[in-house]
Amino acid sequence: MGQKHWSSFHLQTKSLLWIIGITCALILACRYLELPYSNGIFSLLSTWKVPTLGSSTFHAIGPSPDDENVNKVKILNQPNSPVEHALEELRNPSEPNESLRFYDCDKSSVTESDKELGNVSATQQAGAENFTSRREDGSGRKIVSPLSSITKAISNITNAVLSHQDNKTNSVKEDSFRPPHNDGRTLHRNSKPKTNEASHILVPGVTTISEMNKLLLQSHASYRSERPRWFSAVDQELLQVRLEIQNAPIVKNDPNLYSPIYQNVSMFKRSYELMEETLKVYIYKEGDKPILHSPFLTGIYASEGWFMKLMEANKRFVTHDPNKANLFYLPFSSSSLVQALYVEGSHSHQNMIQFLHDYVKMIVAKHPFWNRTGGADHFLVACHDWAPEETKLNMAKCIRALCNADVKDGFVFGKDVSLPETHVRNELNPTRGLGGSLASQRKYLAFFAGRMHGYVRPILLQHWENKDSDMKIFAELPKSKGDMNYIHYMKNSKYCICAKGYEVNSPRVVDAIFHECVPVIISDNFVPPFLEVLNWESFTVIILEKDIPNLKSILLSIPKRRYLHLLMRVKKVQHHFLWHNKPIRYDLFHMILHSVWYNRVFSATYIDS
C-alpha cells in the first residue's frame, strides 16, 4: 500500500518534472533560436518576424523595432516597467513647429545604460550578458530563423508561461504597437505618430554599454565578411594593416589624443595613420540628383550630407581606379530619398526600398566590384530614421553608417557604424558658437527640451517638469532666434539630458559636446557613435530608461571631481565631432571615415592569388 502510494506519488512527481523540463527546454530553445543567425542570411530572413504578443507588429518589410520574441525572453529574465504612452507635441527650443521645418532639430535622443551610474540589477545584467554573449557574431536580433514556425510555436508556449508569470504582459501588449515608422510625415524625422501609437514597449532587454563594448571586441576578433570571389591585392593589404593595428606601438602622450577617452589610443592612432597611408575610396558616379550626389548641409540629418559633400570633394582618399579601392561608397541621401519618394500618410517605405533595390541592381550589373564581396567592401552613410530598414535587405552586407544605431533595429556590431547626428545651424561656419560657460558658472544641474516624441520623454517630463528648480526639464522652450534659448541652457548646464525620441539617436548628444555640457544619455540600446574608438563611459553619463525617476539623485551622486573629469574629457573629445568646410585631421569627417575603415579592416578576408 505504502509502496503503491509512493510510486504513484513518484510518478506524479516525475511527470511534473518532465513537464517543467520540457517547458524550460522550449524556452531555452526559443531563446537560442533567434540568436545565431547571422550575417549572410539574415537580411533575407529578416522579413519573417514572429508576431508574438499582439497582432500589431508584423510589418512585411518593416524592421519593427523589437523582436518580440527577444523581448519576451527578456521579460523572463527581467520583468521591467512597461511604459507610458503619451506623446504630444513639444517643442524643441528652436523651432516653431514641426510643419514649418523640414529638418527639425528635434530628432529623438539617445542612449543606453550605464553600469557606473545606472543601477542595473544583478539579474538584469546577468541575463543580458548571457543573452548577448550568444550574439557575438553580431547578427541582428530580429532575425528569425527558417525554423520560424517552430519558434512561433515555442513563443506561444512562452507566452502562456509569461502571462502567468508576469502581470506586465498586459501592459506590454497594449504598448507594443509602434507606428510603422512614424509614417514619415516629413521628410525628416519622424513625424509625430497618431494618437496612441507612439508608445512602444519599454523593452525589458537592454544591452548595456559595457556589453556593447564586449560585443564589439568579440566581433572584431571573429566577425569576417564572406570570402571574396576572386583575388585582389587590396584584401591582403588590409590583413597586413590589421596585424599592424593589433601590434600598435604603445602611445604615451599624444598632444592630439587624450588617452582616457579612447578604447585603446594606441590602436586608434595606428589605425588612423594607416588609413591615411592606405585607404582608397571609389565613389560610384551613377545616379541622379537629388537622391544621389546631392548633400543637405543643415538640419538634423546633416551628417550624411556633410559626409557626402566632403567625401566627393576629397583628394586624398578618393580614387578613380576602382581596382585600387579598399572601399566603395554608395553616395545616396536617405533624407532626400524620403523627401522624393515617400507618399505622405502611406505608412509605406516600399518606394524607397524599391529605389535602393534598383540602384544596387544597376551597380551590380554594371560593375564587377559588388559581386566580388557581396557588397562587404561597400559602405553607405545615412542619417534618416528609416535608413536601417531601407537598407537592411539589399545592403545587408555593406558597412552601414547609421544615425539610427539601435541594437534592436538590426545594427551589426563590427560591421555597422554609429553615425553622429549633428544639427548644423550654420552651413558656412559649422563651428560658430562652439563652447560654453566655465564649470563654476554652470548654474543649472540638468537641462532638457524637446518634443514628446517616443515613450521616454513623457516619462522624463512626468517626473521632472516643474518639479525641481535644479532640473530644467521642458517640453517646450519659448521660441528664439537661432535656438538661443536652447543654446543658453546648453552652455549653462552641467548635464544635458539626451533622451531618445522615436529613435535612439538625438542631435542633443553632439549639441551637448559642442557646448561642453556633459551628455546624459537616456536611450536604451543606442550604440553611441564611434564606439570602435571612443570610451563613452569616460565622458558621458549613461542612464537606463528605467532609472529616470532617480535622475537627480544619480546626477547628484557624481562627485564634483568626477564631474570635472567628465567635463574636461568632453572638451577633449569635442574635435572629433566638428565639421569643417575643409576637413582637418581627426575631425568628424575623418572619424566617420575611420570607423568605416576600421570595421572593414577587421572584417576583411582574402583568398590566395
Ligand X SMILES: *[C@@H]1O[C@H](CO)[C@@H](O)[C@H](O)[C@H]1NC(C)=O
Which residues of this protein are in contact with ligand X, per CB under 6 A? 96-97, 99-100, 119, 121, 126, 129-130, 149, 152-153, 156, 167, 246-248, 264, 266-267, 364-365, 367-368, 371, 550
**Cβ-closest position to ligand X:** 126
Which of 552/580 has CB closer to ligand X?
A: 552
Nearer residue to ligand X within complex by CB, 130 or 426: 130
Minimal distance in Å, beta carbon 374 to ligand X?
Answer: 9
Sign of the CA dihedral 513, 402, 413, 29?
Answer: positive
**Shortest distance, position 469 Cβ to ligand X, whole Å:** 23
**Minimum CB distance to ligand X, residue 2 (Å):** 38
State the nearest-atom distance from the C-beta of 5 to ligand X, in Å: 33
Query: d(Cα 591, Cα 204) in Å, to the nearest integer?
Result: 32
Q: Measured between alpha carbons, how far is residue 440 from residues 417, 448, 491, 563, 567 in Å?
A: 36, 20, 12, 11, 11
Contact status, residue 400 vs residue 386, Cβ threshold 8 Å:
no
Question: Of the candidates 527, 529, 524, which has an alpha carbon nearest to the alpha carbon of residue 512?
Answer: 529
Nearest distance, CB of residue 556 and ligand X, angstroms: 11
220/494 with CB nearer ligand X: 220
**Distance between terminal CA atoms of the chain?**
80
Whose Cβ is closer to ligand X: residue 217's or residue 341's?
A: 217
- Please, what is the minimum distance in Å from the beta carbon of residue 356 to ligand X? 17
SS (H, E, C) 399-458: EEEECCCEHHHCCCCCCCEECCCCCECCCCCCCCCCCCCCHHHCCEEEEEECCECCCHHH
125 or 505: CB nearest ligand X? 125
Q: Are 586 and 256 in contact (CB under 8 A)?
A: yes
CB of 123: closest distance to ligand X in angstroms? 8
Q: Is 498 helix (H, G, I), strand (E, B) or coil?
A: strand
Q: How far is the CB of 156 from ligand X (least distance, A)?
A: 4
From the centroid of its chain, how far is CA 253?
32
CA 525, 529, 533, 539 torsion-angle sign: negative
Question: What's the closest the beta carbon of residue 526 comes to ligand X, in angstroms?
Answer: 21
DSSP, collapsed to helix, strand or coil, labels residue 1 as coil
Q: Which is nearer to ligand X, 156 or 314 (CB)?
A: 156
Residues 517, 486 contacting (CB under 8 angstroms): no
Identity of the residue, 249 or 255, whose beta carbon is nearer to ligand X in the bound complex: 249
Q: Which three cell numbers stand for residue 305?
A: 550630407
- 152 or 224: whose CB is closer to ligand X? 152
C-alpha triplet 379, 383, 387: angle, nearest 5°: 70
Q: How far is the CB of 327 from ligand X (least distance, A)?
A: 19
How many helical (H) and strand (E) elements, i.e. helices and strands, does the chain have?
20, 10
Cell (9 digits) for 487 = 543654446
Buried b (16+ CB within 10 A) or exposed e, 118-139: bebeeebbebbeebbeebbbbb
* Identity of the residue, 383 or 551, whose beta carbon is nearer to ligand X in the bound complex: 551
Output 216 or 267, the one with its CB closest to ligand X.
267
Cis omega (within 30 of 0) on the bond before 290? yes
Q: Which of 366, 368, 370 is nearest to 380 (CA)?
A: 370
By beta-carbon proximity to ligand X, the closer residue of 589 and 598 is: 598
Would you say 119 or 236 has its CB closer to ligand X?
119
Q: How far is the CB of 409 from ligand X (least distance, A)?
A: 25
Residues 6+ apart with CB under 8 A from 370: 328, 360, 363, 364, 378
Taking the complex as a whole, the smallest distance from the CB of residue 605 to ligand X amounts, in Å, to 19
